[in-house]
Amino acid sequence: MNEADQHTTETLEERPTRGNRLYPRVTSFRSRRGSLTDPQQQCWDRRWPELGKEVGDEPLDVDAWFGRSAPLVLEIGSGTGTAAVAMAQAEPEVNLIAVEVYKPGIAQTLQNIERSCNTDAPIRNLRILRGDAVEVLEKMLTTASLTGVRVFFPDPWPKARHHKRRLLQAPTFALIADRLKPGGVLHVATDHADYAEAIAEVGDAEPRLARFTGTSPISLERPVTKFEDKAHQVGSAINEFVWGKIGA
């Protein structure tokens, strides 16, 4: 999950997610409640029916949802949508789905999309799924359906006993590799040194992925979020990884 709101917690219950065929898995996100302000709720009521869906068991009809066929990018853990909104504006030719669990963060994303409607660059290519990103990959997307996957600043779960909650582990890399088209890219960024080492080791071990070289099918330029800016201020190095799906 992206940005500062990912690093607060309400509960640390360790329950496996329902029906997950990958492995007995506890969620990689922290469960949080959050109420919406009146303007956020009003925007939600206007925009969510068109732009959002709850994560479910049925495969997505992506072309119907966007009203067109275009390269599809998935951002996992979009937080308040800073990166998703900026990158959607920068890549109008791409269909972007952002996955997030925190409702106020999604509401901020919807507000930013709505504000763009009064500019010269209205955002028409961003949709949002609320729920578990692994369930999205498993149940809602098909093999070789994605041109790109973005995971910016996932929760590092720094305590050793919580490492099993980390999103980017071998089974998730394997699932992402399956869902990427040949030549598609996985773009990851983290400010946590220990997690970066683990990500690099596991990502490099996935046989269908290789460190990316060449011209990317999607932009690798991302905005600096408030969360990343705080990391810079305390001297945390930003580790960035890009893998490509072998077989292009």
Asked if residue 18 has pLDDT above 70, the reply is no
Annotated binding site for S-adenosyl-L-methionine: 75, 100, 132, 155
- Looking at 57, 63, 120, 155, which residue is catalytic? 155
Per-residue pLDDT tens digits for 122-174: 999 999 999 999 999 999 999 999 999 999 999 998 898 889 999 999 999 99
DSSP of the chain = --SGGGG--SB----BPTT-SSSS-B-SS-B---PPPHHHHHHHHHHHHHHEEE--SSPP-HHHHHTS---EEEEE--TTSHHHHHHHHH-TTSEEEEEE--HHHHHHHHHHHHHHTTSSS---SEEEEES-HHHIIIIIS-TT-EEEEEEES-----SGGGGGG-S-SHHHHHHHHHHEEEEEEEEEEES-HHHHHHHHHHHHH-TTEEE--S--SS----PPPHHHHHHHHTTPPPEEEEEEES--
Give the pLDDT confidence score for residue 33 in this predicted structure: 55
Please state which of the four CATH numbers 3.40.50.150, 3.30.1380.10, 3.40.50.460, 3.40.50.2000 is assigned to the domain occupying 39-245: 3.40.50.150
% the chain with pLDDT above 90 = 73
Per-residue pLDDT tens digits for 21-51: 444 455 555 555 568 999 999 999 999 999 9
**Domain boundaries, given as residue ranges, for the chain:** 39-245
**Active-site annotation holds for 120:** no
Name the residue with higher pLDDT: 72 or 235.
72
Give the pLDDT confidence score for residue 23 in this predicted structure: 43
Mean pLDDT in the chain? 87
Per-residue pLDDT tens digits for 209-242: 999 988 999 999 998 877 777 777 777 789 999 9
